[in-house]
């Protein structure tokens, strides 16, 4: 489960990190390990929030910051649980909050965490992760599981999808690499290509043969690495 902490109080943020680390230790040997990212600044968090199954939040360093974040989450299509902690500001008074918001009060304590994490577990089982990119300057969300590979051409980058359609996006290949970085199945395999190894049919010494029979060139020096990577991804399927 991917969890985000958004708290601009450093001491509180570190304390919750420790509590979640203990909860993750309890899950050792299960598929439900916690992967926790911690943010103290809103724009860093909003760079890629759709990967999270659960968010813990208390941001109060500037007026309207939580409202700003929630508005952007709505625009991006976020719908996983978000635990909104009240401290200096009573967020229970905010009108028209999304249904996925759960209220709590500081300080961060261990007792309610299993209940909140259970909400995240439920989200994992039904969660469709989307990749946020721009098309003609408009933010769009593409289901991650549909992306076969990305190719950079002379003028644009194109996403190739499992339904045999394509999407031209504004991002360059370097920017797409950063967007895909949290997901182990995606790998930049040459200067102009990012492959989803879930859709690699064959790894040859010179190319990856994709599900649609497209061949993405690779270096012979990375042949063994990519063979191993495909095997690892296939075993997880």
Tens of pLDDT, residue by residue over 80-132, are 899 999 998 889 888 888 888 999 999 999 999 999 998 888 888 766 677 88
pLDDT at 99: 84
As a dihedral over the C-alpha atoms of residue 159, residue 160, residue 163, residue 164, rounded to 10 degrees, the angle is 130
pLDDT < 70 stretches in the chain: 126-128, 237
Write down the pLDDT at residue 78: 84
Q: Apex CA 26: angle with CA 22 and CA 30, to 5°?
A: 135
Residue closest to 214 by CA, chosen among 233, 229, 192: 192
Q: Specify the pLDDT at position 121.
A: 87
Amino acid 129: pLDDT: 73
Inter-residue contact 24 to 110 (CB < 8 Å): no
Extract the tokens encoding 42.
């809103």
Tokens describing residue 65: 């910051």
Q: Domains for the chain: give ranges and CATH numbers.
A: 2-126 (3.40.50.2300), 130-236 (2.40.50.1020)
Helix (H) / strand (E) element for 176: namely helix 173-180
Crossing angle of helices 113-126 and 10-26, in 10° steps, is: 70
pTM score over 0.75: no
| Helix extents (H) in 36-83 | 42-45, 65-76
- Residue 5 belongs to what H/E stretch? strand 2-7
Predicted local confidence at residue 236, as pLDDT: 76
């Amino acid at each position: 489960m991917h969890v985000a902490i958004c708290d601009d109080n450093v001491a509180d943020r570190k304390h919750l990190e420790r509590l979640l680390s203990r909860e993750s230790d309890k899950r050792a040997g299960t598929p439900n390990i916690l992967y926790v990212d911690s943010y103290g600044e809103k724009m860093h968090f909003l760079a890629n929030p759709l990967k999270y199954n659960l968010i813990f939040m208390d941001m109060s360093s500037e007026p309207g910051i939580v409202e700003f974040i929630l508005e952007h989450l709505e625009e991006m299509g976020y719908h996983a649980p978000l635990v909104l902690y009240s401290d200096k500001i009573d967020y229970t008074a905010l009108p028209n909050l999304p249904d996925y918001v759960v209220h709590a009060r500081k300080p961060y304590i261990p007792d309610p965490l299993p209940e909140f994490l259970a909400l995240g577990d439920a989200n994992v089982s039904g969660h469709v992760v989307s990749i946020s990119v721009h098309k003609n300057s408009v933010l769009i969300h593409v289901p991650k599981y549909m992306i076969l590979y990305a190719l950079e051409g002379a003028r644009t980058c194109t996403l190739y999808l499992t339904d045999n359609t394509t999407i031209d996006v504004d991002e360059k290949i370097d920017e797409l690499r950063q967007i895909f970085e949290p997901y182990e199945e995606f790998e930049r395999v040459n200067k102009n290509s990012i492959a989803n190894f879930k859709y690699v049919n064959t790894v040859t010494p010179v190319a990856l043969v994709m599900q649609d029979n497209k061949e993405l060139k690779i270096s012979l020096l990375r042949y063994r690495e990519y063979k191993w990577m495909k095997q690892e991804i296939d075993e997880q399927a």
